Amino acid sequence: MAILLIAEHDNATVMELTARALSAALLIGTDIDVLVAGSHARPTAEAVAGLKGVRKVLLAEADELAERLAEPLAALIVSLADGYDTILAPATSSGKNVAPRVAALLDVAQVSEIIEVVAPDTFKRPIYAGNAVQTVQALDSRKIVTVRPASFAPASQGGAAPVLTVPSAGDPGLSSCVGNRLSETVRPELTSARIVISGGRALGSTEKFEEVLLPLADTLGAAVGASRAAVDEGYAPNDWQVGQTGKVVAPDLYIACGISGAIQHLAGMKDSKVIVAVNKDEEAPIFQVADYGLVGDLFEIVPAFEKALRDRA
């Protein structure tokens, strides 16, 4: 069974999400090609070639692919589709933008955000904000699948796949990139961090996020997240949001501070290996999924924890 995996990258480096999606692909079949579409993206293609399990890397470089816009990328994928039984992409903003277009152009159904591979044509995916898991069998001859990267470990290094150049399918002219406004941070990227510290509406202000959570995050080398309620109140930026309508994370350690645990938030973090909850309400739903719970005032507990860590260092 031949599989085409769409790489997630920024032209210069390949994202770990690609290695995680590759692990899912390896559970479906062994003939896996990876498409790197971009501009001046050969370093990314060579990095992908070093992942174990990749048969070959297809490198497509063109001006219209520089920003991985959905329309030219979808056209490229469709032009390559005849050689593949399964087309797979990480369930990122880019993957969720491109995969449905490919499915529509190929007139097949899409299977979204899988968290487990049962068989080459059968997958498990969460529904109802993660409260239930649905088993889906894809009966189309060609399958379009997006993978929730947090559910799979990264594929290992040790490959030596060849890099082959393929032509672009051209620019449909349906969209253009006006510019990029990217947030910058010295902390780890939220979806790939080993430790995540998230705050909820109980923090009360942007200043409290900065005074209470950020010192602990910096001491632990953690990424910072937030509940939707905190983001809606303006206490935290949108790219910090964890949950069903935000980012899905599965770090080794997730610390939830002042987060009640609405099902929409739990859908984005309940696969974390260890969950620690700090909340003054002992009946908060977050304690039902937490491995460790602290009932008390987060404004006292979190600074005391951070100080203890610094004193121990």
The pLDDT tens digits of the residues spanning 242-271 come to 988 888 888 999 999 999 998 889 988 988
Where do the H-state alpha helices sit in the chain? 16-28, 42-49, 70-80, 93-106, 206-208, 214-220, 228-232, 263-269, 298-312
| Residue 64, both tokens | 């219209």
Are residues 196 and 135 part of one domain? no
The CATH number of the domain where 234 resides is what?
A: 3.40.50.1220
As for how many domains the chain has, the answer is 2
**Per residue of the chain (313 residues), what is the pLDDT tens digit?**
799 999 999 888 898 899 999 999 999 999 999 999 999 999 999 999 999 999 999 999 998 998 888 899 999 999 999 989 999 999 988 999 999 999 999 999 999 999 999 999 999 998 887 778 899 999 998 999 999 988 898 999 998 999 999 999 888 878 887 877 766 667 888 888 899 999 999 999 999 999 999 999 999 999 999 999 999 999 999 989 998 888 888 899 999 999 999 888 998 898 899 999 999 999 999 999 999 999 999 999 999 999 999 888 6
User: What separation in angstroms does the CA of 190 have from each of 16, 36, 119, 186, 254?
Assistant: 12, 23, 30, 11, 11
Within a domain: residue 185? Answer: no
Q: What is the CATH number of the domain that holds 149?
A: 3.40.50.620
Please tell me the distance from the alpha carbon of residue 207 to that of residue 28, in angstroms, as a whole number.
47
Same domain, 144 and 203: no
Length of the chain: 313
- Taking CA atoms, 176 is separated from 63, 71, 180, 295, in Å, by 11, 10, 12, 51
CB 278 within 8 A of CB 269: no
Residue 88 shares a structural domain with residue 151: yes
267 three-class SS: helix
Pairing of β 116-119 and β 122-127: antiparallel
Q: For residue 286, give the amino acid letter.
A: I
The 10s digit of each residue's pLDDT in 165-194 is 999 988 887 888 787 776 666 788 888 889
CA distance 189 to 13: 14
In order, the DSSP letters of 81-145 are GGG-SEEEEESSHHHHHHHHHHHHHHT--EEEEE-EEEETTEEEEEETTTTEEEEEE--SSSEEE
Rounded to whole angstroms, the Cα distance separating 43 from 25 reads: 22
Do 31 and 73 reside in the same domain of the chain? yes
Q: Residue 251 is part of which domain span?
A: 190-312
pTM, two decimals, is 0.79
Same domain, 129 and 234: no
Residues 301, 218: Cα–Cα separation, whole Å: 16
- CA–CA separation, 251 vs 221, rounded Å? 13
